[in-house]
Amino acid sequence: MSATSELKKIQEKNKSMLCVGLDLDRKKVPTIYATSIKGLYDFAVRIIAATSDIVAAYKPNLAFFEELGPEGFSLLEKISNRIPDEVPMIIDGKLGDIGSTASHYASAMFERFGADWVTVNPYMGYDSIRPFLEYKDKGAFVLCLTSNPGSRDFQFLHVLNKPIYMYVAEKVAYWDKEQNLGLVVGATHPEQLVDIRKAGGDVPILIPGVGAQGGSLEQAITAGTDNFKKMALINVSRTVIYASPEEDFDKAARAEVEKLNGIINGLRTKITGGQQP
């Protein structure tokens, strides 16, 4: 089964389009969990245990683990082992390098850390992405139009009367021969998301930027799925895993996920009668 098919399968099973970012910031986790690797592990495991039946994916950001040195890489491996097999893990490293180097990144992410998907940077072109695609049952989300203000520095530049992000969307749709590619598009660009969704064909879109970064959940969902005709993942991080600074953080995380699922599924019912994409 292709990586995209697996993603669709878990969305249908858990009735969720949410990807929970496991960004373990020691300044934000409850104090008792912030002082040791074991504490961070226990925090992440409790978040996973509380939400794994109502989410579609988890997304640890590689930077938060790299910061911790060798212990951080061990922590990432251990957390990966606690995510249920049917729930995809997306390692967010925004990787991009020449093909020979990219092959080592692919091996590390997919084989050592157990990722099901990764995020990759397309700036160096197809040969920097191809090593990830050689893992037929794994997937890569390609940065297309990011949610940060600096996205306008390059991604909005026009080449032959078309913005660069549209070239990325079209290329990724063309490269997606094995149903193992997707796009990353920020929720802070809802109008552009409409055009990218059309250009991207059937590839899934990972949409960060909802909540703390100011993106609208409703706009991201309707634009990113073309009114629930196509597949998308809505990434939520801080609003879920730091929903409470107290010992009830896992219960608060679940409540937040349930609330967001309710909004999304209510919108789906309103638009489609509840049908899956």
- Tell me which residues are annotated as active site: 94
Distances (CA, A) of 189 to 146, 171, 200: 8, 20, 15
Residue 75 CB coordination number (10 Å): 20
Determine the Cα–Cα distance for residues 7 and 21; give it in Å rounded to an integer: 16
Give strand pairing partners of 20: 58, 236
Contact 40, 75 (CB under 8 A): yes
Q: Which amino acid is at 153?
A: D
Contact 98, 104 (CB under 8 A): no
Q: 32-40: list long-range contacts, CB under 8 Å, 24+ apart.
A: 32/247, 37/68, 37/71, 37/72, 37/74, 37/75, 40/68, 40/75
